[in-house]
Chains A and B, each alone.
Chain A
């Protein structure tokens, strides 16, 4: 049975519109116009045990709202959600002990105390026995390399160190389902990589189902074999990363190594020149014309080497979300 089943999920919010300026503020005193915003609109999908799925979408797409419906923090307006057979909204204890939601900007660590104190608190909350607690903490602390920080006040930690401690606090009960909302936001590249390695390791070791949202395509590329794309509350795509690029990638990239100088204008006639640093050139060409253009290049220009690559996922996503097909 699938771990997560979402069926025609819809979540609406009431938003009030205020006109700018003093006049708008005064009129808001007497007349308020409330609009219904559909944050999630008729979304359906299911996720099996042990899958690592990436949720992508622009800001305001409905990713976080969906995660919150899955974890029981929000009550769906319509549709059903089943996680591990539970209705998340009921927030039964048996459900809560098997899940965890980590949100990038929100902390559960007590600010003035060392992180270890919050770990001990969670130990009691989740009724974890002493031996298991010691083992889990030591494993997690080792993987994330934070053992020397356990007795430092949380307020004195850097953002990256704090995020690591937050993650440990959030998964101290080794949940089967992990919801990660922007886990690497604001972190430097080194810590980002450490987080990704950790997430991958956790998924493998505990066969945990992981659903993660991120703006960093690198997170998605490195971790998710399957992506769900949400835009304006609606599900746009659900499938493998490769298929996404195949479906939505309108173009391909030709990486060329020239044997002799060629005028840039001549190459511009064939496609969009992305970079020109002799002898290396990259050109973006329409997908359906790739073979022909490649053949033409080999025939008419002094080419030493040519490589045909997929578009970067960032470019594909950008294109999809901006609704444009060109540059």
Chain B
């Protein structure tokens, strides 16, 4: 455990160094993260510009959901996304070999070594937006709700991690599918809409989309005092099961891994 922390610390330092070496990229990435953050808010503002309620959620609550999603996706992009973006190249070009040869869990190295700190701007934007919506819409946030929401946010993060990893493992079976990353970017954005919106879908599609509705919706429900303990703990269990399933699939898929010819 200690070794993993030390290695993670080294990853952290190396990513900071990388960030500081390329100043033009730093600005470039910061601006683009800010642009995506603003885009998410602009989208919900445009959509709710002429619509007061959707699926039982009013305009303020929908914006709160977007803000919470912004925090979640900001953290996800900061600590995890870059690794997933590189996964298809790592697998296709046989660079997974180096990861497999290290005396550390390959999933750990593969999914955590790269970071993108400029995405933290989305976290900040989300927090600012939550504060402003909460005050303008007179939404009272209690400390219990806040802490609970934070826990559920971490659960949501782990859930999203498992989903991305589960999908990207398929690149081992078909290395040309590098655009699965783009698919996951698109599909992840389902997380900023209420679950009731998806109930119109046929059952199979709804079940496929369902995990995404647990990514940030529960945190907002917690914040608004709409979460039951049953749902709260159920989510933890659901997240754990998904993580274990993903891990087992990963270990199984490694047998199919054929490193590219040298």
In the assembled complex, the Cα of A252 lies from the Cα of B9 at a distance in Å of 61
Question: Does any Cβ of B come within 8 Å of A25's Cβ?
Answer: no
Given that A64-B261, A112-B18 are known contacts, is A121 also in contact with B97, CB under 8 Å in the complex?
Answer: no
Question: Do residues B262 and A104 form an inter-chain contact, with CB atoms below 8 A?
Answer: yes
Contacting residues, chain B, for A181 (C-beta < 8 A): 262
Specify the chain A residue showing the minimal Cβ separation from B7: A124
Question: Do residues B261 and A125 form an inter-chain contact, with CB atoms below 8 A?
Answer: no
Contacting residues, chain A, for B101 (C-beta < 8 A): 71-73, 96, 99-101
Question: Does any Cβ of B come within 8 Å of A87's Cβ?
Answer: no
Contact of A112 among B3, B21, B95, B257 (CB under 8 A): B21
Question: Does any Cβ of A come within 8 Å of B17's Cβ?
Answer: yes
Question: Do residues A101 and B97 form an inter-chain contact, with CB atoms below 8 A?
Answer: yes
Question: Taking the nearest CB of chain A, how far is it from the CB of B17, in angstroms?
Answer: 6
Question: Do residues B10 and A112 form an inter-chain contact, with CB atoms below 8 A?
Answer: no
Contact of B18 among A68, A110, A127 (CB under 8 A): A110
Chief secondary structure at chain B's binding surface: helix
Chain A's interface size range is 35 or more
Question: Does any Cβ of A come within 8 Å of B104's Cβ?
Answer: yes
Question: Do residues A13 and B258 form an inter-chain contact, with CB atoms below 8 A?
Answer: yes
**Complex interface bits, A71-95 against B, C-beta within 8 A gives 1, otherwise 0:** 1111100000000000000010100
Given that A73-B100, A101-B97 are known contacts, is A106 also in contact with B262, CB under 8 Å in the complex?
Answer: yes
In the assembled complex, the Cα of A91 lies from the Cα of B109 at a distance in Å of 15
Contact of A125 among B17, B102, B257, B262 (CB under 8 A): B102
Question: Do residues A64 and B103 form an inter-chain contact, with CB atoms below 8 A?
Answer: no
Chain B: interface residue total (CB-CB under 8 A): 28
**Complex interface bits, A37-80 against B, C-beta within 8 A gives 1, otherwise 0:** 00000000000000000000000000010001001111100000
Contact of B14 among A73, A75, A107, A117 (CB under 8 A): A117
**Complex interface bits, B89-101 against A, C-beta within 8 A gives 1, otherwise 0:** 0000111011011
Question: Do residues A112 and B22 form an inter-chain contact, with CB atoms below 8 A?
Answer: yes
**Complex interface bits, B29-61 against A, C-beta within 8 A gives 1, otherwise 0:** 000000000000000000000000000000000
**Complex interface bits, B1-29 against A, C-beta within 8 A gives 1, otherwise 0:** 00100110111011001100110000000
Given that A101-B97, A117-B17 are known contacts, is A74 also in contact with B22, CB under 8 Å in the complex?
Answer: no
| Partner-A contacts on B (CB < 8 A) | 3, 6-7, 9-11, 13-14, 17-18, 21-22, 93-95, 97-98, 100-104, 255, 257-259, 261-262
26 contacts between A and B (CB under 8 A): A64-B261, A73-B257, A74-B258, A75-B255, A91-B100, A96-B101, A100-B101, A101-B101, A103-B262, A106-B93, A106-B94, A106-B95, A106-B98, A106-B262, A107-B98, A110-B14, A112-B21, A113-B18, A120-B10, A121-B11, A122-B102, A124-B7, A124-B9, A125-B3, A125-B103, A153-B21
Given A112-B18, A182-B262, 9 further pairs, Cβ under 8 A? A64-B261, A68-B259, A105-B262, A121-B11, A124-B9, A125-B3, A125-B102, A127-B3, A181-B262
